Amino acid sequence: MRKISAFLFLLLLCFACSKTDEERASSLLDNAKEHISNNEWNAAKIVLDSIHQEYPSLVEYRRMADTLEWQIRLFEHERTLSYIDTLLPIKKKELNEMKKDFVFTKDTLYQDFGSYVHRKMQLAYNLKRTYLKPMVDERGVFSLMSQYYGQVSVQHHALTLEAEGVLYRSKDPGVYNAFANEDMYAENLLFEGTEATNIAHFIITQEQRTIKVCLKGVRDYSYFLTKNDKEAVIATINFSSIVADCYRLEQERTMLLNEIEKLKRRVVKL
């Protein structure tokens, strides 16, 4: 009799076990739904992940888990989109106010992105002059061009800035170009990325001091930054931050709208 009872117990246990995975998966789905209704998104995602990990063969339950995950992602994207739609007009207003001090140019044949140049740095006002020309493109990428004009070829590949004993020396080689016109030489050395930003930050921190720039090449050539030059560099790098913010928000907004449209097509009612 005991053997029969033990056998029946094992049989019932096996029968119960065959239902356990589905019951547990269903319970996890209910648990995830409860988290979602309480706006506990991260907790819900953890529960849904466990369904995929623990019950890989329960395709129907995993499909329902996917649907809930899409609903969570849809909510998160819509929440982020709402934040961007609130912030972007504020940034654009600031951008438009600052744009008044800049001139935009773009050569559509050779440039993917046009550039903003401070009005004080326009070529018409700086012919036959040695100076630093700050620029920012439509993505907010800041660059700085060392412009040289003189009777001898300097062939500069680096520069130093000195302000009352405080020294900065460029580390990246930059992009060099040179032109000759009769007895005069024109050279430019373009710095981008971190190097351009570092030079600008040096000028910002030393703005109230006299800043000496030395072009390092086969010959050295030195000059002092004017007040207008300093102001143009500082205004341009500040402007670049706003341009970068607007560009990033616009790109993110476009991506979110595309993702939201895809998710809406996927989501079905459980």
Q: For residue 125, is pLDDT > 60? A: yes
pLDDT tens string 129-187: 999 999 999 999 999 999 999 999 999 999 999 999 999 999 988 999 999 887 899 99
Higher pLDDT, 2 or 75: 75
The label of the residue with tokens 């995993």 reads 62
| Whole-number pLDDT of residue 149 | 95
pTM: 0.81
Q: For residue 121, is pLDDT > 60? A: yes
Strand arrangement, sheet containing 184-192: 102-105, 115-118, 131-137, 142-150, 184-192, 175-181
Check: CB of residue 189 under 8 Å from CB of residue 179: no
Strand partners, 214: 160, 222
Please work out, in degrees rounded to the nearest 5, the angle formed at the alpha carbon of residue 176 by the alpha carbons of 170 and 181. Answer: 130
Spatial distance between the Cα atoms of 207 and 232, rounded to a whole number of angstroms: 11
| Least confident stretch, 5-19, 59-73, 156-170, 249-263 | 5-19
- Domain range summary for the chain, segments of one domain joined by +: 13-95, 102-253
Q: Mean pLDDT over residues 103-107, rounded?
A: 91
| Whole-number pLDDT of residue 173 | 85
| Least confident stretch, 17-21, 200-204, 206-210, 226-230 | 17-21
What are the angstrom distances between the C-alpha of 217 and each of 83, 133, 180, 210?
50, 19, 17, 23
Mind giving me the DSSP string for 14-43? Answer: HHHHHHHHHHHHHHHHHHHHHHHHTT-HHH
pLDDT confidence tier of residue 269, bands split at 50, 70 and 90 = low
Spatial distance between the Cα atoms of 44 and 34, rounded to a whole number of angstroms: 8
